[in-house]
Structures are given as C-alpha cells and as structure tokens.
Amino acid sequence: MTGEPWFAWWDLNPNEPNNCCGGEDYLHFISLNVSDPVPGRHWNDLSDVVFPEVWSSIVEWDTGGSSDCNANGIPDSCDLASGTSADRNGNGIPDECDPNPVLALTSNASACNTVNSTVTVEARLSGASQPVVAGQMLVQWDASKLSLSSVNPGDAPFNVVYSLNPSAGQATVLVSVEPGSSGEVVGNKAMARLNFTVVGGSCDGSQTGVNFFSAGPLQTEFADGLGNAFAPTLVGSAGFVVDDGNPVLSNVPADRTVRPEAGDGAFATVSLVAPVATDSCSPLTETATRSDGQPLSAAYPVGVTTVTWRAVDPCGNSAEATTQVTVEPYNMMSVTVSLPGMGYPASLTRSLVVETVGVTTAAWSVLQENRTFVSGSASFDWGLPIDTYACLSVEDPARSLRRRVDVTDGGANWTATATLVLGDLIDDEVIDVLDWGAYVVRNPNTAHDLNGDGVTNAADGQFILDNFGAQGDTGCVAGFDGPATAIESISVAELVQRGLPELAGADLNGDGWLDLRDMGMAD
C-alpha cells in the first residue's frame, strides 16, 4: 500500500503461493506439520475460510504520529480497535493511560466564619475513566470548630446518600446511583455536599478544614459495578478561619483632664494616639467617634467629651474602648511675687491679696491667701474663669504697696511677675510718717518685721526710709480716688481724728506733731 519494499526474507511453503481453491487473497503463516520445529514460520496464501490448521498472520503498522501510552509496542488506536484496551470515557485514550481520578474537598467558607454560620464542603470527583456506580468517602474535621449537620446528594445521578457512623469529627459517607443503573463516567461531578455548622473557634490565626482519613483497611474508594474498585487521589479542603473572638484594643489612651490654654477660649487642644487594634482576621475597620460629633483632631470644649474607639473584623466581631477628655472650666494664672533686696530667710509666710479682671467678661477675681516665700520669692498657680487677662495687682496689705503688672500669654497659662515695695504699714497705699509712727509705736508687732528675720528693728525701719513717699498702683478693677499724697507732718490732734491716737507715741520730741524731725531722732 505504501510502495515500500516487501520483506527481503521469504520462507514459502513449497508451491506457494498458488491461489488455489477458488482464490486465496490473504497471507499467513502455517506449519508444514505438527512436528515442525518452528511452528507457523512458513508463508502461505489463504482464503477467508477458516481452516482447522494452526495458522496466524502478520500485520505491519505505520506508527508515525501514533502513540503507545501503555508501552506494549502497539499503537493505542490499535489497542482500542482490537479490544486489548478499553476506553470507557470515550476520550480516545486507553483507560490504563488516563490520569488517576481526583477527589477533592472544597468549601464555600469565607475569609472569616462566625460561630453558628454554615459552611458547605463539596466532595467532587474528576477524571474517572470507568463508570462509577458507588463509592465511600471517609472524612474528618475538628469537632471543636465544626459540627456535621447534614449530607446532601451531589450531582445527578448520584442522588442516594447515606452518612454512616458519624462520630466526633469523623464520618463515612456512602454514595451510589439508582439501583439497576450501569453507572456514569465521571468527568467532573459533585459526589456529595456536606453541611457543617460552625460551633467554636478562635480568631488566633489558626485554621480548620475537612480532610480524608483511613480506618484500617477501610479507604476512600469507588466501584464500577463489575467488582473493580479504584482509589482516587485525595485532596482535602483548604484551611479557613473560624472566628469566635473579638479584636483586641491595646494602648488605649488614658482619660485626660486638661485646662484651656491661655487665650484659646473655652477649648483645649488634646492629641490622642489611637489604640492598637489586633485580630487574626483582617482587614480591620477602625473608627474613632467623639460624643460631640467633631473630628478627633478638633479642639475639645469645656466639659466631658467621650471618644469611642472601635475595631470590627470581617466577621462583624467588634471591640470598643473609650477615653474621656475633661476640659476644666477655668484658666490658670502662674504668678511670681518677689520681695525687694536680699537677706530673706529660706522660708517666709506672707498673706497676699491678688486681683485680676477678665477683658471679655469684666469679671473681677480676688485671691487672698497665705503664700510661702522661699528666699524672698513665691510662685503659685491661680485658677480663673476662662477669659482673656491683661492686668494683675498684688500686695501684702500689712506690709507693702499694691503693685499692678501686665499679664502675658504664657502658652498653657497666663503669667504675671511682680516685685513688692515694702513699708506701707497703714495700708493706705503710700509710705509716709504714718507708717513710720506705726513702726515706732507698734514695735515689736510681727507685722512690722518687714525682712522676716524674726525681729522688728532698724533694718525694718530702713525700708520705710528708703521707700518714703512711694505710692501704690491703681488696681486692675477698682483703685482709690487719685494717688495718695505722702504725709510728712501731722498733728497729734489729727491723728486722734483719724482714729490713730496710738501713733502720738511716735512724737518723740513732744511738740504735738509727728513729722520728719521725729523720724530723724529715731534714726
């Protein structure tokens, strides 16, 4: 047929080929007799009538382009045509050469599965070349996370399903076609669908799934109805997260209590760092909500504002924490008061009167308290209504003139610094002979111990001499009717009229007048 040369080797029977007996159109081998040492080696022509002799034939195939997947020396197409190999799935490949069937478990689990949710696991067989009539599947799972609630049929015709011997985390599932069916070649079909209820878990990153197991000689396998069984390649389900836990919030900002800064009105700027949210189920949705509806970065009003931190995982589990920001309804004034000169003891207590007034509200605030001076200086904070402040006055009513100073915006606090002028013992905001008289006749009154050394002596009188004629400042709110004028001379009679008869004792020269001559004598 191909024009190739015939065999170069011939061993014809004698007188053959002879085309006898009505025609012989076929070539075969035949033995001369039963004692032939090489039976079937001789060539003969033959008709298509079957003869009782031992006979055989030889065929040459052109193997170009054909395959021999089972390596038996015969092209696959000839194996199939002669019935040497079966092709029950009709794919043109001998069944023994088909890939091993695969039985895979796949789930519809989401990224994060909550307790009481349902997960369906499908057992799908693919690549079976022989008709399948029945099968058994041995599956197992983590009973602490999943519970088998039902088993449903797979794709037709596999519609008879039994779940046998379910135990804690294991089950044998039997499937079959209807009785009398010859089975079906399974290219890709679901054999069964297993429904699980999520019963527990932990959002710790661990995963669960459904897999196959062996029970001694009992294996996952399928039958073709002729007594033949095959065990497919088994693929368990991919792991999935079962989540019964909430996200964890750490480093939640502590509650804060703050005051409005100077000049910021009834608001305070507070910086809060969001807590760290962790959860093995991601991504997390994190929010920060203020009870006043303002953005987290906005200034906080006077009062209590609650910030709610919230993290939600993909399963809907959430965690919340709160931070309260309390803005107190006052400003703080930092005041520093110094005594003039040096030589003050390490600790000295003085009673101060401090006054200020708000620029916006004109509200007058007065502080009268004992303060401790350390080496001649006292610093303290004074809580004030929220306002703008520009002026402060301070004095020691028993010893000093009133001093008025400017208030500055120090950032967090308003700030003011003043140095007192000592010697106003009468508290009439001027240092004159009246204060000198009080110093003389009231000695050793502790109020006249101006330098705080524990005694009233010439060192205290020197303050009056040095500051003689000095006047106090007008207060921030209410002053006096014009600056007081220093009195250099006053009669004893007028002292009595003023309610100061005791000062007559300072008329050292007895001339009926308290004046500079008496001060000179005392000095």
pLDDT band at 478 (very low <50, low <70, confident <90, very high): low
Residue 28 has, within 13 A of its CA and on its CB side, a CA count of 20
For residue 31, what are its two tokens?
A: 């033995």
pLDDT tens for 234-275 read 999 988 887 777 899 999 999 999 999 999 999 999 999 999
Q: Round to whole Å and give the CA distance between 467 and 483.
A: 16
Per-residue pLDDT at 44: 80
Per-residue pLDDT at 1: 64
Residue scoring higher pLDDT (58 or 150): 150
Per-residue pLDDT at 227: 75
The average confidence (pLDDT) of the chain is 87
For residue 223, what are its two tokens?
A: 């039958």
For the CA atoms of 410, 411, 413, 415, what is the dihedral angle to 10 degrees? 10
For residue 487, what are its two tokens?
A: 């009195």
**C-beta of residue 112 within 8 angstroms of C-beta of residue 243:** yes
For residue 11, what are its two tokens?
A: 């061993």
pLDDT tens for 330-369 read 999 999 999 998 889 999 999 999 999 999 999 999 999 9
Query: What three-state secondary structure class fits 95?
Result: helix
Per-residue pLDDT at 93: 83
- Which of 205, 200, 208 is CA-nearest to residue 313? 205
Query: What three-state secondary structure class fits 438?
Result: helix
**C-beta of residue 307 within 8 angstroms of C-beta of residue 325:** yes
Q: Which residues pair with 360 in a beta bridge?
A: none
CA distances from 143 to 121, 165, 198, 199, 245 (A): 15, 15, 9, 8, 18
Cα 363-301-381 angle, rounded to 5 deg: 50
Which residue in the block uniquely carries the two structure tokens 């983590």? 142
Per-residue pLDDT at 21: 81
- Which of 54, 60, 79 is CA-nearest to residue 69? 79
Lowest mean pLDDT among 124-133, 306-315, 352-361: 124-133
199 burial class (0-12, 13-18, 19+ CB within 10 angstroms)? middle
pLDDT at 56 over 70: no
For residue 226, what are its two tokens?
A: 């002729």
- Give the total residue count for the chain: 523
Q: Round to whole Å and give the CA distance between 39 and 29.
A: 9
Q: What is the mean pLDDT of residues 40-55?
A: 68
Lowest mean pLDDT among 119-128, 156-165, 297-306, 469-478: 156-165
Which residue in the block uniquely carries the two structure tokens 């009154």? 445
Per-residue pLDDT at 308: 98
Per-residue pLDDT at 481: 58
pLDDT tens for 58-67 read 666 666 666 8
**C-beta of residue 125 within 8 angstroms of C-beta of residue 102:** yes
CA distances from 276 to 63, 310, 321 (A): 71, 11, 11
Q: Round to whole Å and give the CA distance between 514 and 196.
A: 110
pLDDT at 43 over 90: no
pLDDT tens for 105-117 read 999 988 778 888 8
For residue 200, what are its two tokens?
A: 């527990």
Which residue in the block uniquely carries the two structure tokens 């055989």? 56
Q: Round to whole Å and give the CA distance between 466 and 488.
A: 14
Residue scoring higher pLDDT (187 or 507): 507
For 284-316, letters b (16+ CB in 10 Å) and e give bebeebbeeeeeeeeebbbeebebebbbbbbbe
Cα 132-140-247 angle, rounded to 5 deg: 130
Per-residue pLDDT at 197: 92
Q: What is the mean pLDDT of residues 402-419?
A: 96
SS3 letters across 65-87:
CCCCCCCCCCCHHHHHHHCCCCC
* Residues near 478 by beta carbon (within 8 Å), at least 6 away in sequence: 364
Per-residue pLDDT at 7: 63
Task: Give percent of the chain above pLDDT 90.
Answer: 53
- Which of 258, 263, 260 is CA-nearest to residue 390? 263
pLDDT at 48 over 60: yes
**C-beta of residue 415 within 8 angstroms of C-beta of residue 334:** yes
Alpha helix stretches (DSSP H) within 63-215: 76-82
For residue 358, what are its two tokens?
A: 């708000």
For residue 330, what are its two tokens?
A: 């006052």
Q: Round to whole Å and give the CA distance between 232 and 217.
A: 16
Lowest mean pLDDT among 74-83, 133-142, 303-312, 461-470: 74-83
- Which of 255, 261, 257 is CA-nearest to residue 384? 261
pLDDT band at 31 (very low <50, low <70, confident <90, very high): low
Q: Round to whole Å and give the CA distance between 122 and 190.
A: 6
pLDDT at 310 over 60: yes
Q: What is the mean pLDDT of residues 440-469?
A: 86
Residue scoring higher pLDDT (91 or 341): 341
pLDDT band at 78 (very low <50, low <70, confident <90, very high): confident
pLDDT tens for 497-519 read 999 999 999 999 999 999 999 99
pLDDT at 128 over 60: yes
Q: Round to whole Å and give the CA distance between 141 and 26.
A: 67
Per-residue pLDDT at 54: 54
pLDDT at 414 over 70: yes
Per-residue pLDDT at 108: 93
Q: What is the mean pLDDT of residues 179-187?
A: 80
The structure's pTM equals: 0.57
pLDDT at 168 over 60: yes
pLDDT tens for 360-410 read 999 999 999 999 999 999 999 999 999 999 999 999 999 999 999 999 999
> Can you say whether the dihedral through the CA atoms of 8, 11, 15, 20 is positive or negative?
negative
Pairing of strands 256-258, 318-327: parallel
Per-residue pLDDT at 382: 96
Q: Which residues pair with 520 in a beta bridge?
A: none
pLDDT at 36 over 70: no
